[in-house]
Structure 1
């Protein structure tokens, strides 16, 4: 079987070449997917000397064949065939433009994520559907609509890098399900983006992903239960990813152009630097959350800051910071429960844990909060 990782790495370059030759995005993307299928079928017995050139040639022919089949595209086909393909000296990396296309502002976040995974990540529709636990037909329709939306957008137009980073972060936060590790895929795509730009926020996002991903082995117990950060076995953290993440972050911070992903990564780095939960430098973490709030005004950042204040200055201070926020914020009851328990009020904490469990965004988190409420209620009855 052809090397799947190698095919994924080649996908954006091949797609970019077809689009630059004049193919519309939707037609080019379909042709590239067809070429990938051919590669999986033929390469094990007859591997090409130049895999990228092979994919370009096969995808280009498939695009032209499809164009010939549609009378309405005959004029476009003639124009495309008359334009000579770029020679070997015109090697252009179109990956960044593909990121911009897939994160087009007219797309919904869900569509942008799906199109990024398909066009830049090289995943099949079936793999993406399995990862998101939706029927393949549903995902195919979502991707098809997204491709039609961006088909009229030309290469060369400036894109919004911030939107691209938010899409990649959405991919990362989906975690993993089925046969596709979306967190790992997001890191791979962000590495590729970082290789093509020296933007500090791209580096910040990569560092943030690496530092969070380093803790993944310790996030769940043998029974699948969620393990809070303070209770994790830190010997299971991936020190290689932590070292790389810190180095990437330090290089970005040294350029003195702070952004929100760098600030988030700095918080993650401080957690990673603590050998035990008790050694965590909460004072510095509060300072980084202050920077993050200044940069974004994000209510989520303010909520996380309240937790950090509660650790640095005591639960009463944390509750005071929490009181300034909207109680309808996601995870507000969970934070309130934690701080009330730390402040010696198990009755309020048990009630708030139960409330938080009812609105938890995932099954593992709901189960964890339910157990916390049950633990306190058992203690109160005893």
Structure 2
């Protein structure tokens, strides 16, 4: 066994488990997101140097926390603007209860709300929280927003500087202030969940349960904070239902060979029934409320309902595709986007005819041409209508744009199977 590989694995697992907690705690102590993030990064850099020599400490999280705190103090001492920040940091270090932390004693949730302060533009709120709380890299966040990495780096730097300049307090807002930040908080949690559900980087694990689990945990806390009969509570309920129903399939999504498994090929017996039952219960709760004339269905409700249709089918062939098409049509009215239309095209191909679906998808080329999902979907639809040479080209383009190793393996197999069938070889 390679001891260096063991240490590298320990550092990676500690980073996944501890990054958000360490940054959140340091941000509360130092009152500066930038210093918190940089100090945590320095601590992990020290771990890369020290742990192969000294061994992995008995409590890796505590070691990182202590080292990051010392790095933060050193940084404050070096900076000309240290006085107020340093006094505050030492005060908090001596008395951890010195600050009123608000309604929930959860550093990570508090930091989500700090990053989602209305002083930032919506996109900046979401991006900053993904970086600081979710621990996503600038490249991963840029991928989520379909922008260049340098552009996203500049936005993040400006957002952190704004928090520092405006001295935004590191506590949860008052109950009456929570709705103003709800949209950004929901967007952040959904994107963190999505990165865990299908990692965008080739060097990452295909699935990251640390991210999906944390997103679900925070979604539960956020839902409990919001007024019961509010629009924001309804959205939080739909979001939680969507996460639960999606997470329920995680155990069947990647094969033992490391290949992504399509929904129609998954072993449904391995789906988590407890998560499905909880998710379906929340879907019914929202549907009943809407039917009684209460809060109408929002985008998360509809997405959860779509996943509920899949979860309710005991076999792939029992899926109610016309219902899914109808739900996507409803989603296009509530939250129109090219990605929604692309997913609707997939449903149309199952419910009606691949040719109609292909026409829908190809109309999105101008907006989604740089997105791997567009080319992967187009490849499958071209294959269904018998345009095999074009399908192979589309598979190649999707493979070039895909960062997830499990998805690459799946697309390569689909492309090679198609090539073999064209040439008359057994698939």
- Asked whether the two chains share a fold, i.e. TM above 0.5, the reply is yes
In structure 2, the residue matched to 1:165 is 186
Indicate conservation of the 8 Å contact 1:112/1:146, yes or no: no
In structure 2, the residue matched to 1:24 is 31
Unaligned runs of 5+ in 1: 34-39, 44-62, 119-127, 133-140
In structure 2, the residue matched to 1:261 is 300
TM-score, length-normalised on structure 1? 0.70
**Could you say if the C-alpha distance between residues 65 and 27 of structure 1 is closer, same or farther in structure 2, counting changes exceeding 3 Å?**
farther
Matched, 1:92 2:131: no
Indicate conservation of the 8 Å contact 2:126/2:184, yes or no: no
In structure 2, the residue matched to 1:325 is 364
Query: C-alpha deviations, 1:244-267, integer Å up to 9, x for none?
Result: 111122223333231111111111
TM-score, length-normalised on structure 2? 0.64
In structure 1, the residue matched to 2:331 is 292
- What pairs with 1:145-160 in structure 2 (closer than 5 Å)? 148-151=161-164, 152-154=167-169, 156=173, 159-160=180-181
- What pairs with 1:174-213 in structure 2 (closer than 5 Å)? 174-175=195-196, 177=204, 181-197=210-226, 198=228, 199-213=233-247
Indicate conservation of the 8 Å contact 1:350/1:372, yes or no: no
Query: C-alpha deviations, 1:231-284, integer Å up to 9, x for none?
Result: 111111111111111112222333323111111111111111111111100011
Query: 1:143 offset after TM fit, Å?
Result: 8.9
Q: Which secondary structure does the structure 1 equivalent of 2:365 belong to?
A: coil
Unaligned runs of 5+ in 2: 1-13, 41-58, 63-71, 141-153, 291-295
Q: Which secondary structure does the structure 1 equivalent of 2:289 belong to?
A: coil
**Could you say if the C-alpha distance between residues 91 and 352 of structure 1 is closer, same or farther in structure 2, counting changes exceeding 3 Å?**
closer
- What pairs with 1:325-344 in structure 2 (closer than 5 Å)? 325-326=364-365, 329=368, 330=371, 331-344=373-386
Q: Partners in 2 of 1:351 and 1:7 — Cα distance?
A: 42
- What pairs with 1:219-368 in structure 2 (closer than 5 Å)? 219-256=253-290, 257-326=296-365, 329=368, 330=371, 331-368=373-410
Indicate conservation of the 8 Å contact 1:13/1:93, yes or no: no
* More moved, 314-323 vs 183-192: 314-323
In structure 2, the residue matched to 1:218 is 252
Query: 1:339 offset after TM fit, Å?
Result: 1.9
Query: C-alpha deviations, 1:287-310, integer Å up to 9, x for none?
Result: 110111111111000000011111
The alignment of Structure 1 onto Structure 2 pairs a total of residues equal to: 340
Indicate conservation of the 8 Å contact 1:327/1:333, yes or no: no
Q: Which secondary structure does the structure 2 equivalent of 1:333 belong to?
A: helix
Query: 1:99 offset after TM fit, Å?
Result: 2.6
Indicate conservation of the 8 Å contact 1:200/1:255, yes or no: no
- What pairs with 1:90-129 in structure 2 (closer than 5 Å)? 92-93=103-104, 98-104=111-117, 105-106=120-121, 107=124, 109-117=126-134
CA-atom RMSD in angstroms: 4.6
